């Protein structure tokens, strides 16, 4: 029986590389996967899952009007697994479509993303996944400034912490650090 998994972690916790690894494992056994990612993430090329260690993989970009369920349902190939990167940027409707893929098409879905933003508020997609996912798993990484577990995403600009602003600002290590609670409240910048 298929399930919806939500694997979340702070920046730099290996979410994208895990997607590439899982896809490889399925395909090595001649099983088809579909990979989706947010159309908002334009750090590389829209429609690309890109890991910080340099590995990349093509994906189907998801925009507000995208119907993920229909794309999967209309696939000419038998799909063994759906993988989702940057799931925090998905709408509640998109997350509901993922549940329909699991429940009606009996295809497992593994969604990866951030749980909370730089203000420690839930993203809409993450909130919906926390409600609807069958299994929720944390992917761990260490704080940028110490060896404690990082649970927060610290936004920085000009080497100063930023705690207010628009929820979505696409960026990598130049804009965000994974940090522990202590260094979220008092970063040594």
Provide the annotated active-site residues: 86
Instruction: Check if the beta carbon of residue 52 is closer than 8 Å to that of residue 13.
Output: no
Distances (CA, A) of 22 to 12, 92, 169, 170: 17, 25, 27, 24
Reported for 164-173, long-range contacts at CB under 8 A and 24+ positions apart, including other chains, are: 164/119, 165/118, 167/117, 167/119, 167/121, 167/123, 168/40, 168/89, 168/117, 170/40, 170/41, 170/42, 170/43, 171/43, 172/11, 172/43, 172/52, 173/11, 173/12, 173/52
The 8-class DSSP code of residue 147 comes to S
């Amino acid at each position: 029986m298929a399930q919806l998994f939500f694997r979340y972690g702070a920046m730099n916790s290996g979410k994208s590389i895990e997607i590439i690894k899982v896809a490889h494992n399925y395909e090595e056994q001649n099983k088809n996967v579909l990979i989706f990612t947010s159309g908002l993430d334009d750090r590389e090329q829209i429609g690309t899952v890109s890991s910080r260690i340099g590995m990349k993989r093509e994906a189907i970009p998801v925009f507000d009007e995208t119907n993920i369920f229909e794309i999967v349902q209309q696939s000419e190939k038998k799909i063994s697994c759906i993988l989702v990167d940057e799931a925090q940027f998905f709408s509640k409707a998109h997350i509901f479509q993922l549940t329909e893929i699991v429940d009606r098409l009996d295809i497992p879905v593994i969604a990866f993303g951030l749980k909370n933003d730089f203000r420690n508020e839930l993203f809409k997609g993450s909130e919906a996944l926390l409600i609807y996912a069958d299994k929720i798993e944390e992917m761990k990484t260490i704080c940028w400034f110490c060896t404690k577990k990082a649970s927060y995403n610290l936004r920085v600009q000009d080497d100063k912490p930023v705690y207010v602003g628009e929820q979505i600002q696409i960026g990598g290590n130049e804009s965000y650090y994974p940090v522990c609670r202590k260094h979220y409240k008092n970063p040594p910048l």
